Structure 1
Amino acid sequence: MRSSHPRSAAVAALVATALASGLLAGTADAAEGAVSADPVRIHDIQGTTRISPFNGKAVADVQGIVTGVRTFGSRGFWIQDPDADDNPATSEGIFVFTSSVPTVAVGDAVKVSGTVGEYVPGGAASGNQSVTQIAKPTVTVVSKDNALPEATVINEYSVPAEYAPAGDPAAGGSINGLTLDPSRYALDYYESLEGMNVRIGNSRVVGATDPYAEMWVTVKGWENTVKRGGTLYGSYESQNTGRLQIQQLTPLAQQPFPVANVGDRLTGTTEGPLDFNQFGGYTLVARTLGTVKAGTLAPEKTKAQSPGELAVATYNVENLDPTDPQEKFDNLAKAVVQNLASPDIVALEEIQDDNGAKNDGTVSAEETIKKFTAAIAAAGGPAYQWRSISPENNKDGGEPGGNIRQVFLFNPARVSFTDRAAGDALTATGVEKENGKAALTHSPGRIDPANPAWTDSRKPLAGEFVFRGRTVFVIANHFSSKGGDEGLTSQHQPPVRKSEEKRLLQAQAVNTFVKQILAADKNADVLALGDINDFEFSNTAKALEDGGALFSAIKSLPKAERYTYVYQGNTQVLDQILVSPAIKNYAYDSVHINAEFSVQNSDHDPQVLRFRP
């Protein structure tokens, strides 16, 4: 889902280029900017809104104590004025962007002259808030080994319960121009501390350590708590105000970042400057990092289906292709056998073609599926057979050259597949009546592949199965990603979720197809499942359920158990299994084996539904 470390070396290079060319806000007229005649304090620069009143202006001899030095990525240092004003809306800290390795040290008292600007991590199109900073600095060290300004404690009492103010309609929904109200809104509170030395105490980990040396914690241990340790994102109004991203200032070569799973605890004191970055918003960049106390979280195992039950699962296996290590195949296979109890039907998402991301026109995934099913058999699972349709080259989105697609695995000892004039990438399957019952015109077949809703996205794969003499229709989906949506910490409140528009059209197309099946046979057993890339409370889910054609079965679980994915410390739903009205009695299980753990075989948790057709 991510491609680089926040403010990585590559990003830093772009920033340097932008600074040189005047592309960053407030830098274009830096050479002509007038130096303030009066001494300027950091809180003057930060001001009472998110945009500095000195944006684009040169400032001289801004004083502060160095509280953190970053020698990698976006190089620079933070300074803080130890003599705070009496306005809680104005931050006393600021980042000084040097582009090269800073020559100052923590504890130095410095005077900084340079140009004030507003750096937007990810660029203006990202919708992210900006970081007020001083660039092109001239730095004078006045003294060394000074005591640091006392850290501001962030805890459950200091962070407001309300997440953000509504954006100004006259400013396109932006909150940038609004006066900060740190006693009322969490985002305003964090913004009022931007660049300052802050501290948290014992906190629960709600987002496992990722490959970029980051974790997420919550300072509100009671906020939307999930039994296994996470923090539930159960509605658009449940942003979870206590979440903070944690990084460290020390390079990884000198100090490895601790490995933590959801439910572990970050104990002791974690202290350092409060930053804002592209991939998580407000981030405590730890100068002093607490100790991880491991919890007892273990991967789950679902209950095996009884002889009369059909078990149907969905699993996003995250860009699986033959060039992946055998260990990934083996671990995914063991999960299917041991954790999912060898479902009768498995809908897989993100099966890549036979040479993965090599962009040479290959579209077949025969070798990928053979390697995976062989690994399942070696792990003690059934000899799964499969059905799929290869996409047109580079027409279904995902990693260029990878040609991801959905694939049906099925256990022929338990269920049979009804082959009907197998479709191809461009041929739509339809619904007809056969002996008074619904039947697909193509099985496997794609649903409405020419519909613009599926442009550069995976087309749904429909298949007809028979279990104990009963026909079951399964539709495997992988809807368009959330890429391009603004984050929860966006300058626009509520954030702009542009990607929903396409998923809404996709959901409507699938819903229409299911209604065609039900028009032919109102008692048909239909399951639409897969990586829906949207929440169970979203308009996407509502469109899938329209008219009662389907119901998202994850909503049969207690609310605190409805999740398949963890993103930025929010435990949430992306994967769903939806059922037609005839499927009344079923058992649903979101099998938590990946999303909560630092070591993952996929970033999604698989889902299993068991029922008697």
Structure 2
Amino acid sequence: MPSKKSARIAALTVAAVCSAASTIVLTSTAQADTLRIHDIQGTTRTSPYAGQQVTDVAGIVTGIRTYGSSRGFWIQDPDADADPATSEAIFVYTNSTPTGVAVGDAVTVSGTIQEYVPGGNSTGNQSITEITKPTVTVVSSGNAAPAAVVIDAKSVPAAYAPAGDTAANGSVNGLPLKPSAYALDYYESLEHMNVRVADARVVTATDSFNELWVTVKPRENANRRGGTVYGSYASQNTGRLQIQSLGAAADFPKANVGDTLAGTTTGPLDYTRFGGYTLVASELGSIKAGGLQRETTRKQRSGELAVATYNVENLDPSDASFEEHATAIVNNLKSPDILSLEEIQDNNGRTNDGTVAADQTVRKLIDAIVAAGGPAYDWRSVDPVDGEDGGQPGGNIRNVFLFNPERVSFTDRAGGDATTAVGVTKKYGRAALTVSPGRIDPANEAWEDSRKPLAGEFVFRGRSVFVIANHFASKGGDQALHSQYQPPARSSETQRHLQATSVNAFVKEILATQKNADVVTLGDINDFEFSGTTKLLEKDGALWSAIKSLPKSERYSYDYQGNSQVLDQILISPSIRWSCDFEYDSVHINSEFHDQISDHDPQVLRFKP
């Protein structure tokens, strides 16, 4: 009669042969002179054995991934070497759902060493070391997993990453790891290993992919609402870490910024396409609510003009969020006098049939605002040429002005359309737009496949105010902060710099015609208040980003990968800035919450023209 161990091996062998999985269980034993995992991982980001065959690599199974495009399991050697730069774990890629192995199995694996770049080489991402086309031998079962390495404020270095090797186009791949000096090196030295965080504060809310971000450094650039502020290109916030789960998606917690992932969260440290280093939890802590509430700005006084910007994220008539947006505008933004909306889609949204009009979308929002107790806004916009303004195909997103006709009037001047450029003229000794509403320099290459700025002339208490609504090109294509290239390339800046230069030139035309003109340039700038884009908008003092009037810890409108950051801005002309009679508010109603209706927070400026 065979032993229980032999019977289990035989059963696993049959299961593997009969399944579609690539894992095969054999009965041979590991050889004493085979490579150890830390030999394969080496002391740089890439394995010295990449592309080579390895035999009988030993480890204990610490986690199994049965979903997604990267299925397989992690193994870790319980007998670590003395070098802190070498990881003791590796991922075994099986392509399909792995069978025949269980957590706690001691196995040996033969296969090919591969350096896999999540998302492909064009992303600039770091690679992860894997064993592919594996042959697996189960040696024993029921073994304890290697003790998890604790990641905390003391273990993560203050510096984020070394400068890349100039001889390798700025890549850090070939540099020796220095886990005590750089956070990215520290995380890389733990690649695939069993790690643990405890009582970590949530700094990016749970998203639709069942991911959240925590920080193990709660004091690192913290703001009063629990987030971690991204304040410069040299301030990468090293304590950020993404959390996923190996469990069922339905069980993943719904967390807001400022909540705590209480208790211990343990699992292999992976590296993913969009998040970089990610703790894939086999043991997931519970959420302790921080009690974060959505903010409400104050209502403007009778002599104050309230101008706001709000990205409503691809709003079209089929969306279910109109009532929520209307409630936010009325209750949280206190019904601003002028509201610049970004990402208003055409009347049938993503249906790509040549429709460009958005009157039904706008009217549905205005009606919802009235139903929520707000004013009966009027509106102005310019329909784009079909398919020429980027965004979701078929959606034809554009910028739209809403304004309260009981508080402010719009100066209409005919002739503005998708291809006619608005200009500046002088009327009665003051600046005036040649068309209103109109689009700024629409034929300029700066606006190719991007939203063209919408300029409008308003009158409040007898004084003209020029408002320019913007939605600059996105950051798509930029290398991630966790890229193998350090510092990462920000290729999308090229177009935004051209866009900023175009808007700055237009504002200068207004100011050259009327030095004391009130100009408000606002919208989703898709760049930081300290960025080159903002500096070009501000060039020669034509504008100033008013979010810089807030303390640094309060400057954010968007939350991405654990960084609270500025994308939405309101920039003001000198007449408004130097009057010292304005007030700025970034109204946090979306970016910090898992049940957000947009991924952007609206911004409000109040001033006396």
Q: Specify the TM-score bucket, using the shorter chain as the normaliser.
A: over 0.9
Residue 179 of structure 1 and its aligned partner are, at CA, apart by 0.4
Q: Confirm whether residue 114 of structure 1 aligns to residue 111 of structure 2.
A: yes
Report the residue type matching 2:91 in the other structure.
Answer: F
Match of 1:145 among 126, 130, 142: 142
- Name the residue aligned to 1:91: 87
Give the Cα–Cα distance (whole angstroms) in 2 for the partners of residues 434 and 101 of structure 1. Answer: 72
> How big is each residue's C-alpha offset from its partner over 1:430-483, in whole Å with a ceiling of 9 and x where there is no partner?
000111100000100000000000000000000000000000000000000000
**Structure-1 separation of matches of 2:300 and 2:52:** 68
User: Among residues 481, 492, 512, which one is paired with 2:474 in the alignment?
Assistant: 481
CA drift at 1:398: 0.3
Distance (Å, rounded) in 2 between the aligned partners of 1:415 and 1:38: 82
Q: What residue in structure 2 maps to residue 542 of structure 1?
A: 535
- C-alpha separation in 2, matches of 1:547 and 1:134: 56
Alignment partner, residue 590 of structure 2:
594
Q: Which residue of 2 aligns with 1:453?
A: 446
Q: Which residue of 1 aligns with 2:246?
A: 249
Give 1:115 deviation, angstroms. Answer: 0.5
Partner of 1:22: none
Provide the rounded CA distance (Å) in 1 between the counterparts of 2:310 and 2:357. 20
- Residues 91-128 of structure 1 deviation map (CA, whole Å, 9 limit, x = unaligned): 00111110111121110000001110011011000000
Give 1:225 deviation, angstroms.
0.4
* Cα distance in 2 between the residues matched to 1:422 and 1:416: 19
Aligned residue for 2:317, secondary structure, equals coil
SS in structure 1 opposite 2:575? Answer: coil
Mapping for residues 55-66 of structure 1, pairs under 5 Å: 55-66=50-61
Measure how far apart 1:315 and its partner are.
0.1
**Equivalent residue number for residue 505 of structure 1:** 498
Q: Structure 1: which 5+ runs fail to align?
A: 1-18, 20-35
- Are 1:425 and 1:449, in contact at CA under 8 Å, matched by a contact in 2? yes
Alignment correspondent of 1:341: 334
Equivalent residues in 2 for 1:321-332 (5 A)? Answer: 321-325=316-320, 328-332=321-325
Alignment partners' CA distance in 1, 2:478 and 2:102: 38
Q: Could you tell me which of 555, 571, 576 is aligned with 2:569? A: 576
Cα distance in structure 2, aligned partners of 1:384 and 1:263: 35
| C-alpha displacement of 1:251 | 2.5
Say whether 1:176 aligns with 2:169: no
Q: Return the alpha-carbon distance in structure 2 between the equivalents of residues 422 and 499 of structure 1.
A: 32
Query: How far did residue 421 of structure 1 move?
Result: 1.5
Name stretches of at least 5 consecutive residues in structure 2 with no aligned partner. 1-21, 23-30
Deviation digits for residues 113-151 of structure 1 (CA, Å, limit 9, x no counterpart)? 111001101100000000100011011110000011111
Mapping of residues 255-334 of structure 1, within 5 Å: 256-325=251-320, 328-334=321-327
Normalising by structure 1, report the TM-score: 0.93
Residue 188 (structure 2) aligned to one of 182, 186, 191: 191
Distance 1:142 1:134 in 2: 18
CA contact (8 A) 1:78 1:94 kept: yes
2:35 matched to which residue of 1?
40
Q: Deviations 1:55-102 (Å, cap 9, x if unpaired)? A: 000111000000000111121000000011111000001111101111
- In 1, Cα distance between the equivalents of 2:248 and 2:306? 47
Q: Structure 2: how far apart are the matches of 1:422 and 1:368?
A: 23
Alignment pair present for 1:605 and 2:601? yes
Counterpart residue identity of residue 311, structure 1: A
Q: 2:131 & 2:378 partners in 1: Cα distance? A: 61
* SS, match of residue 268 in structure 1: strand
Which letter maps to 1:205? V
CA positional deviation for 1:597 = 0.3
Deviation by residue 1:345-389 (Cα, 9 ceiling, x = unmatched): 000000000000001110000100010100001000000000000
Deviation at 1:252, TM superposition (A): 1.9
Match of 1:400 in 2: 393
2:5 maps to none
Report what 1:412 is aligned to.
Answer: 405
Structure 1 485/37 Cα, relative in aligned 2: closer, same or farther at 3 Å? farther
- Is 1:391–2:384 an aligned residue pair? yes
* 2: CA distance, partners of 1:368 / 1:335: 17
Instruction: Give the drift of 1:296.
Output: 1.3
**Is this contact kept in 2: 1:68–1:287, CA < 8 A?**
yes
Distance 1:214 1:353 in 2: 31
Q: Deviations over 1:192-236 (max 9, x none)?
A: 000000011111000000010000000001100010000000000
| Counterpart Cα distance in 1 of 2:229 and 2:482 | 17
CA distance in 1, matches of 2:316, 2:147: 52
Q: Which has the larger radius of gyration?
A: 2
Aligned equivalent of 2:9:
none
Question: CA–CA distance in 2 between the matches of 1:175 and 1:496?
Answer: 13
Q: Give 1:422 deviation, angstroms.
A: 3.8
Tell me the SS of whatever aligns to 1:501.
helix
Q: Which residue of 2 aligns with 1:77?
A: 73
User: Is contact 1:461-1:477 (8 Å) kept?
Assistant: yes
CA distance in 2 between counterparts of 1:359 and 1:91 reads 50
Question: Residues 89 and 182 of structure 1 are in contact (CA less than 8 Å); yes or no, is this contact kept in structure 2?
Answer: yes
Contact 1:72 1:251 in 2 (8 A): no
Q: Which runs of 4+ in 1 moved over 4 A?
A: none
Cα distance in 1, alignment partners of residues 489 and 39 from structure 2: 31
Query: Displacement, 1:37?
Result: 11
User: Any idea what the Cα deviations from partners look like across 1:314-370, whole Å, max 9, x if unmatched?
Assistant: 000000001112xx0000000000000000000000000000000111000010001
Task: Report the residue type matching 1:137 in the other structure.
Answer: P
Query: What displacement does 1:250 show?
Result: 1.1
The structure 1 residue matched to 2:421, chosen from 418, 423, 428, is: 428
Q: CA deviation at 1:272?
A: 0.3
Matched residue type, 1:295: G
Equivalent residue pairs, number: 575
Residue identity in the other structure for 1:132: T
For 1:454, the aligned partner's letter is W
SS in 2 for 1:201: strand
Counterpart code for 1:86 = A
**Secondary structure of the corresponding residue to residue 548 of structure 2:** helix
Distance in 1 between the 2:504 and 2:119 partners? Answer: 36
Deviation, structure 1 residue 38: 4.7
Q: Residues of 2 paired with 1:538 and 1:396: CA distance? A: 23
What is the rounded CA distance, in whole Å, between the counterparts of 2:64 and 2:102 in structure 1?
A: 7
Please state whether the residue corresponding to 1:202 is helix, strand or coil: strand
Secondary structure at the counterpart of residue 582 of structure 1: helix
- Give the aligned residue type for 2:588: H
**In the alignment, structure 1 residue 211 sits paired with structure 2 residue 204:** no
TM-score normalised per structure 2: 0.94
